[in-house]
Amino acid sequence: MNPIELSFEFFPPKTQEGLDKLRATRVQLLPLKPKFVSVTFGAGGSTQQGTLDTVLEMGKDSVDAAPHLSCIGSSKESLRAILNEYRSHGIRHIVALRGDLPSGMGEVGELRYASELVSFIRAEFGDWFRIEVAAYPEYHPQSRSPRHDLENFARKVKAGANSAITQYFFNADAYFRFVDDAHKLGVDVPIVPGIMPITNFSQLMRFSEMCGAEVPRWVAKRLESFGDDRDAIRAFGLDVVTDLCRRLVDAKVPGLHFYTLNGAAATKAICERLGI
Ligand code: FAD
């Protein structure tokens, strides 16, 4: 048995090449026996079919495969139709999100926040789905204040979420503090740290800027200094993220959720170093 429960996140590929890569990744990562895998969903439904197809393909390997679902820009009717389709395929596990409106798409939709989506799912589908929600140890970039963000997180859990996955972070103390604060607000579901392997400096900085995750200055400086030396970036990234995971595992976190970006090598290397 693994010393810690793992889950892996993928995105639906858009091209045949992307599909081939994901299939190869799956073959390499599934022997690590993840508790589940999840597949992202483009806000506004842009990847609706791709998300379902990818989940169904993953599920063929008898792994629990959970589609993400975001509510922003969608009507209750369209969300109900998607959830009914998931249910008709026997899918019982989802990651419920607000999502972000793509620029140029004006309408917010009928459900404004993930907590409203969770309530909607519970009201319409009872306990059919196990529901994961997102958590932000360094706070959501649009939140009014840390306190407000924590309260909103607690609201989402009280609406019926079974468990949470965090945005990625490189500062373990932010996560530990967030979990303590959430417990004080009565949150008693597992809060699984999201782990982003480091393989590409400019991509990491771009993602982090968008999602509000802090890349520590010393890490950014070192990565930047490697320039185009991808091997050096990967080697240093592997050290940094493995150290983070080791600290989390030692603290007995409820699992590790890897943002694989559909690649196997970095996630596999971290798990190997952790003895998984
Ligand atoms: P919410 O929990 O609704 O929070 C959004 C903001 O609103 C926060 O600032 C919160 O404090 C505030 N808020 C919440 N409730 C209220 C309220 N009642 N009143 C006032 N303010 C409130 N995006 C995708 O498009 N597709 C994906 O597949 C996807 N997967 C993700 C998986 C994980 C594990 C994570 C961490 C993120 C994922 N995202 C995905 C990104 C996510 O959609 C964005 O971070 C989005 O901006 C917020 O979604 P949420 O579900 O956390 O929103």
Amino acid 101: pLDDT: 84
Cβ of residue 46 lying under 6 Å from some atom of ligand 1: no
pLDDT at residue 105, rounded to an integer: 66
State how far the Cα of 114 lies from the Cα of 157, in Å rounded to an integer: 10
Positions marked catalytic:
9
Q: Is the pLDDT of residue 44 over 90?
A: no
Residue-level pLDDT at 104: 67
Please report the pLDDT score of residue 259 as a whole number: 98
Tokens representing 110 are 């009928």
Closest residue by Cα to atom 22, ligand 1, is: 152
CA 68 / ligand 1 centre spacing (Å): 12
pLDDT tens digits for range 143-166: 999 999 999 999 999 999 999 999
Mean pLDDT value across residues 200-210: 96
Nearest residue (by CA) to ligand 1, atom 23, is: 99
Rounded to an integer, what distance in angstroms lies between the CA atom of residue 133 and that of residue 194?
A: 12
Share of the chain above pLDDT 90, in %: 91
Nearest atom of ligand 1 to the alpha carbon of 148: 11
Mean pLDDT of 134-150: 97
Which pLDDT value is given to residue 179?
98
- pLDDT level of residue 61 (50, 70, 90 thresholds): confident
The finding on whether 7 has its CB within 6 A of some atom of ligand 1 is: no
Q: Is 111 in the pocket of ligand 1 (CB under 6 A)?
A: no
Amino acid at 20: D
Fold of 6-273: TIM Barrel (3.20.20)
Give mean pLDDT, residues 220-228: 97
Tokens of 206: 């771009």
Contacts (Cβ under 8 Å, ≥6 apart) of 88: none
How far is the CA of 268 from the CAs of 40, 60, 111, 135, 172, in angstroms?
20, 21, 38, 24, 21
Q: What confidence score (pLDDT) does residue 103 get?
A: 73
User: In the predicted model, is pLDDT for residue 204 greater than 70?
Assistant: yes
CA–centroid distance, 33 to ligand 1, in Å, is 28
What is the arithmetic mean of pLDDT over 252-273? 98
For residues 264 and 254, give the distance between their C-alpha atoms in angstroms, rounded to a whole number: 22
Q: Pick the atom of ligand 1 nearest to 133's CA.
A: 51
Confidence of residue 133 (pLDDT cuts 50, 70, 90): very high
DSSP the chain: --SS-EEEEE---SSHHHHHHHHHHHHHHGGG--SEEEE---GGGTTHHHHHHHHHHHHTTT--EEEEEE-TTB-HHHHHHHHHHHHHTT--EEEEE---PPTT----BS--SHHHHHHHHHHHHTTSSEEEEEE-TT--TT-S-HHHHHHHHHHHHHTT--EEEEEE-S-HHHHHHHHHHHHHTT--S-EEEEE-----HHHHHHHHHHHT----HHHHHHHHHTTT-HHHHHHHHHHHHHHHHHHHHHTT-S-EEEE-TT--HHHHHHHHHTT-
pLDDT in tens, 228-259: 999 999 999 999 999 999 999 999 999 999 99
Rounded distance from Cα 107 to ligand 1 centre (Å):
16
| Orientation angle between helical segments 48-59 and 76-88, nearest 10 degrees | 20
Residue 143: CB within 6 Å of ligand 1? yes
Q: Which of 111, 113, 151 to mutate to test the pocket of ligand 1 (most atoms within 8 A of CB)?
A: 113
Pocket flag, ligand 1, residue 189 (CB < 6 Å)? no
